[in-house]
Amino acid sequence: MESSDTMTYDVVGAGFGPANLSLAVALQERREGGTPRPTAAFFERKPQLGWHRGMLLPGAKMQISFLKDLVTFRNPASPFSFVSYLHAMGRLPQFVNNQDFFATRQEFHDYLEWAEAKLAHQVTYGAEITQIRPPASGRRGEAIEHLEVEVRGDSLPGGTRVLTAHNIVISTGLVPRMPAGVQRDERVWHSSEFLDRFTAWNPGELNRVAVVGAGQSAAEVVRYLHDALPDASITAILPPYGYALADNTPFANRVFDPSAVDDYYYGSERSRDVIWQHHRNTNYSVVDDEVIKGLHERVYGDEVAGRNRIEFLNLSRVCGVKRAADETRVTVMSVATEETRELDVDVLVCATGYDPMNPAPILGELDSLCLRDARGRYRVERDYRIATAPELRCGIYLQGGTEHTHGLTSSLLSNLAVRSGEIVASLLDRRK
Ligand code: FDA
Ligand code: NAP
């Protein structure tokens, strides 16, 4: 049985991670000359709010200042700020005394939950948006003034709900990427599911673990395994010679400023390429200073103790995995010689990164009304709305998946507060 709403929402949000949480706050805070606040409903497929829980490793730090929270860059006086959270928790003086711009991921997660609790009435959990489509009653070529949203999940009466909306904001997040041809299973994990998988095992059965990748996830997982499995041997398989430093120096960090979005968006194809070439190392395939140092200290400590617990296979990539019953055989190729070798492990952790958000599957037939550039990527307006064929009058906004148009902050937290404000302003403008 399908349940249907009769009202048409101004906006429906797909996903309720930090991006749409920030949008929900921006909608809440927007009051303009007595205009009624846009009506909104958000749907999240997880059973509760969770921000990369599989990587909520003890001691893991945020990669941005606590001031780049859900709101502060748009509204420093917001009651949803990280500072307001600290105040509410009675920890503001201690946080300041701690003299660290970078909170732990656990504390930031707690902040997100605190903010979410004030807006929970707008969110349905355990509810996946499976399709967004033109209304069934519409005729081909006619103007489309609202969209139908199909939601599925055990939390819904009858398992399905269909509602209508004038605008959709898709914030469904990054998609875990595995090495080509490698499938996930109980012994071959992606880092995004690391803690869920790890805690389901008896640590005593994990004697040989390999971790693939040279980014922040890989380094954090290797560090964690070194501490959690004192008797195991750990193999780190990484393409460069060693973990490289994430550039978070002050001038380079300007690439995450709200104004950098305009520089990128209105720049030429060439200037965008230059920005990528110079600043990819602020985020991708790089590791924070503190994690590199912590890991090196552990490796050196092992050397002093006369035992080598982490083996580094550098200049190496994983190019295949053979699985049979309890056996997991990894094929590792040297990027220097192209020779391969085989490695038997109990578990392989692929910290091999993520693909950008891809809205095409839930857009279904609507996708053909979304305009694309010569390279097949969505054309996206400055207000994060996909450029669409003229008959589609509804807004389909993206939070994520816009690195080609809006730059590096697309999948990050740095610009959430400002971006959400810009989307709300656009929704209100278009409503007029
Ligand atoms: P996010 O992935 O958080 O949320 C998307 C949500 O949509 C998910 O909850 C998902 O379940 C839901 N969803 C997906 N499809 C759905 C559907 N069809 N229907 C309903 N729900 C659906 N960045 C940064 O700036 N600073 C940092 O410190 C970090 N730290 C960090 C740690 C780790 C381990 C990772 C992997 C990434 C980061 N990042 C980061 C980058 C990260 O992308 C960013 O922090 C946010 O998660 C982006 O928020 P979003 O809401 O866009 O995606
Ligand atoms: P990433 O930065 O994209 O790194 C993926 C790594 O995997 C790269 O080193 C890549 O090497 C390597 N790789 C890919 N395929 C491989 C293969 N077949 N064999 C060997 N190596 C392979 O991904 P990430 O580390 O998951 O980071 C993603 C995002 O999450 C970043 O924004 C990061 O900052 C964030 N993050 C944050 C935290 C935190 O806040 N504490 C923790 C974890 C992650 P190549 O580049 O050579 O392909």
Report the distance separating Cα 14 and Cα 44, nearest Å. Answer: 7
Distance 127 CA to ligand 1 centre (A): 16
55 ligand 1 Cβ < 6 A: yes
Q: What is the 3-state secondary structure of the chain? A: CEEEEEEEEEEEEECCCHHHHHHHHHHHHCCCCCCCCCCEEEEECCCCCCCCHHHCCCCCECCCCCCCCCCCCCCCCCCCCHHHHHHHHCCHHHHHHCCCCCCEHHHHHHHHHHHHHCCHHHEEECCEEEEEECCCCCCCCCCECCEEEEEECCCCHHHEEEEEEEEEEECCCCEECCCCCCCCCCCEEEHHHHHHHHHCCCHHHCCEEEEECCCHHHHHHHHHHHHHCCCCEEEEECCCCCCCECCCCCCHHHHHCHHHHHHHHCCCHHHHHHHHHHHHHHCCCCECHHHHHHHHHHHHHHHHCCCCCEEEECCEEEEEEEEECCEEEEEEEECCCCCEEEEEECEEEECCCEECCCCHHHHHHHHHHECECCCCCECECCCCEECECCCECCEEEECCCCHHHHCHHHHCCCCHHHHHHHHHHHHHHHHC
Report the distance separating Cα 24 and Cα 22, nearest Å. Answer: 5
Q: For residue 287, give the ligand nearest its CA.
A: 2
Atom of ligand 1 nearest to the CA of 171: 52
- 57-87 pLDDT per residue, tens: 999 999 999 999 999 999 999 999 999 999 9
The predicted model gives 133-157 an average pLDDT of: 89
Chain centre distance of CA 206: 29
**C-beta neighbour count of 204 within 10 angstroms:** 9
- In DSSP terms, 150 is beta-bridged to 131, 162
285 ligand 2 Cβ < 6 A: yes
Distance 16 CA to ligand 1 centre (A): 9
112 ligand 1 Cβ < 6 A: no
Report the distance separating Cα 395 and Cα 174, nearest Å. Answer: 22
- 348-386 pLDDT per residue, tens: 999 999 999 999 999 999 999 999 999 999 999 999 999
Q: For residue 318, give the ligand nearest its CA.
A: 2
Q: What is the pLDDT of residue 2?
A: 45
- In DSSP terms, 212 is beta-bridged to 237, 350
Asked if residue 33 has pLDDT above 80, the reply is no
Q: What is the pLDDT of residue 1?
A: 39
Report the distance separating Cα 322 and Cα 330, nearest Å. Answer: 6
Domains of the chain, CATH where assigned? 2-174+356-431 (3.50.50.60), 177-245+284-354 (3.50.50.60), 252-282 (no CATH)
With bands split at pLDDT 50, 70 and 90, how would you rate the model's confidence at 97? very high
With bands split at pLDDT 50, 70 and 90, how would you rate the model's confidence at 313? very high
Residue 248 makes CB contacts below 8 A (sequence gap 6+) with 63, 282, 288
The predicted model gives 18-25 an average pLDDT of: 98
* Nearest partner of 164 among 298, 9, 295, judged by Cα: 9
Tell me the best of 22, 25, 52 to mutate to test the pocket of ligand 1, counting ligand atoms within 8 Å of each CB and taking the most: 52
Distance 372 CA to ligand 1 centre (A): 24
55 ligand 2 Cβ < 6 A: yes
352 ligand 1 Cβ < 6 A: no
